[in-house]
């Protein structure tokens, strides 16, 4: 019974990365293989550094199988659970749940700000956490942004590695976690190790797995139809998801390299 509970918990994480990619970028992958300039433009200005999203895909057979697996897990588990969650939880409450998980994930973001020498943003993270944990009722609300204009910038160890010249490696679709690269997958392990709750909370499942499961359900409930639209309008679902992820990472890497 315990093993079944563990498997169910991890399956609830499935396809959350796919949903996030679909919600953040062009859903039909119209710019596949295009040269992507900072900000996503295909027309770079003179002297602007450009990165190509088109690259070899040495792991494509494995990735295709994992995409199929994650989509089945989404169809069978994540989407039905998220749909029920959306029916019983009003949208403002679901937004508060999302803000709570953003707030408790402060340490990896703060640590990576320091690793990247982004001290101003690191200070913003500390201030945001203090304000939102108190005035924002444990992070359920975001007065740090709404009242003080302190905005969160996502950060992770994959971006830290990118800033110091570590190549991304092959594109990789992770079972239950979605799109990544070899570098970003290793970075995700490092970010998980930075979460102190993993060392102080005991139970059947690690804290991070439980948190990701709940967060995945909540995020999916906010985007119930978004990934369906990707599948409907894309002739190449695998390529569309790949492009969405890689284009987003290019933009984030440009931001980190520029020190913004």
Coil, strand or helix: which one is 173?
strand
Which spans in 27-90 are helix H?
60-73, 79-88
Closest CA to 195 of 171, 175, 215, 180: 215
Where does residue 95 rank: exposed (0-12), middle (13-18), buried (19+ CB within 10 A)?
Answer: middle
Tell me the C-alpha distance between 248 and 76, whole Å.
28
Tell me the C-alpha distance between 24 and 40, whole Å.
12
pLDDT in tens, 50-73: 444 556 799 999 999 999 999 999
Q: Which residues of 204-233 are buried (b: 16+ CB within 10 A; e: fewer)?
A: ebbbbbbbbbbbbbbbbbbbeebbeebeee
Most confidently modeled of 23-37, 165-179, 204-218, 219-233? 165-179
Closest CA to 227 of 40, 70, 33: 70
Predicted TM-score (pTM) above 0.95: no
Task: Compute how many other C-beta atoms are within 10 angstroms of the C-beta atom of residue 162.
Answer: 24
The percentage of residues in the chain with a pLDDT greater than 90, rounded to a whole number, is: 56
pLDDT at 210: 75
Task: Compute how many other C-beta atoms are within 10 angstroms of the C-beta atom of residue 153.
Answer: 15
pLDDT at 50: 41
Tell me the C-alpha distance between 85 and 88, whole Å.
5
Half-sphere exposure of 223 (CA within 13 A, CB side): 24
Where does residue 42 rank: exposed (0-12), middle (13-18), buried (19+ CB within 10 A)?
Answer: exposed
pLDDT in tens, 155-214: 999 999 999 999 999 999 999 889 999 999 999 999 988 877 666 555 545 566 777 788
Tell me the C-alpha distance between 8 and 205, whole Å.
11
25-29, 36-40, 134-138, 216-220, range with the lowest pLDDT: 36-40
* Beta strand extents in 155-241 (DSSP E only): 171-174, 178-181
pLDDT at 181: 97
């Amino acid at each position: 019974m315990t093993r079944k509970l563990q498997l169910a918990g991890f399956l609830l994480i499935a396809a959350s990365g796919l949903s996030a990619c679909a919600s953040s970028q062009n859903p039909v992958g119209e710019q596949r293989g295009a040269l992507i300039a900072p900000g996503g433009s295909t027309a770079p200005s003179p002297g602007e550094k450009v990165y190509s999203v088109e690259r070899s895909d040495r792991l494509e057979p494995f990735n295709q199988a994992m995409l199929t697996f994650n989509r089945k897990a989404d169809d069978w588990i994540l989407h039905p659970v998220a749909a029920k969650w959306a029916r019983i939880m009003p949208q403002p409450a679901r937004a508060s749940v999302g803000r709570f998980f953003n707030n408790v994930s402060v340490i990896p973001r703060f640590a990576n700000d320091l690793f990247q020498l982004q001290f101003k943003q690191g200070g913003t993270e500390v201030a945001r956490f203090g304000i939102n944990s108190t005035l924002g009722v444990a992070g359920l609300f975001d007065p740090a942004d709404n009242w003080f204009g302190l905005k969160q910038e996502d950060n992770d160890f994959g971006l830290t590695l990118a800033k110091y010249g570590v190549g991304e490696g092959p594109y990789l679709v992770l079972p239950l976690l979605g799109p990544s690269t070899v570098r970003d997958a290793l970075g995700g392990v490092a970010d998980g190790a930075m979460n102190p709750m993993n060392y102080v909370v005991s139970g059947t499942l690690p804290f991070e797995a439980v948190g990701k499961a709940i967060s995945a359900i909540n995020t999916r409930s906010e985007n119930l139809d978004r990934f369906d639209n990707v599948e409907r309008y894309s002739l190449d679902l695998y390529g569309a998801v790949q492009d969405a992820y890689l284009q987003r990472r290019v933009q984030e890497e440009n931001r980190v390299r520029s020190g913004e």
